Amino acid sequence: MIENAILNDKNLEEYFLFTDDSKLIKYNKKYNSYKYLIKIETINSKEEVIVLKLMYPYISITEEKGLNSAVINIETLEVIYLKIEDYHSEVSSYSNEFCIINDEIHLITQTKWNTINIMKLKTKEMITDINRDDEKFGIDYFHSNLLVSKDYKHFLYYC
């Protein structure tokens, strides 16, 4: 059964589907054809609501109220597995968003509660190193939802 689907912004005849048995499939509407791409074992699609985001050639698959996500390069099928430290995941969302920095695709990702970092997807390098001292700051400065501008150059968070 299909859990979620997203339209390929580079080819309007193509959709990417994620199934309840954790398979990523490419569907071509014009030819009514399906192509199995990869199975993502870490995503619990039977128990969690799954969120798909696409910025070609990358697709992000995230458990909305879970702990796991994966970013797949659709052309190479290389997978980056991500996990957030658990802090009331039953009520807070796990957010990932794509952004553009210096004309390259990056991923804004939560690494633990109230903490986001930015990863350069081409190199898998975290270009931020946000490790705040909870005792020093003592405030929540990031909650669980991200919103990115249409040009993918600005973002904000909201509850």
The answer to whether the beta carbons of residues 62 and 69 sit under 8 Å apart is: yes
d(CA 80, CA 89) in angstroms, rounded, equals 21
Structural domains in the chain plus CATH codes: 2-158 (2.130.10.10)
Percent of the chain with pLDDT over 90: 53
- pLDDT at residue 38, rounded to an integer: 98
- pLDDT at residue 158, rounded to an integer: 66
- pLDDT at residue 111, rounded to an integer: 80
d(CA 91, CA 38) in angstroms, rounded, equals 29
The answer to whether the beta carbons of residues 115 and 131 sit under 8 Å apart is: yes
User: Which pLDDT band holds residue 75 (cuts at 50, 70, 90)?
Assistant: very high
- pLDDT at residue 47, rounded to an integer: 82
pLDDT tens readout for residues 16-34? 999 999 999 999 999 999 9
pLDDT tens readout for residues 93-152? 888 999 999 999 999 988 877 778 899 999 999 888 666 565 555 444 566 678 888 888
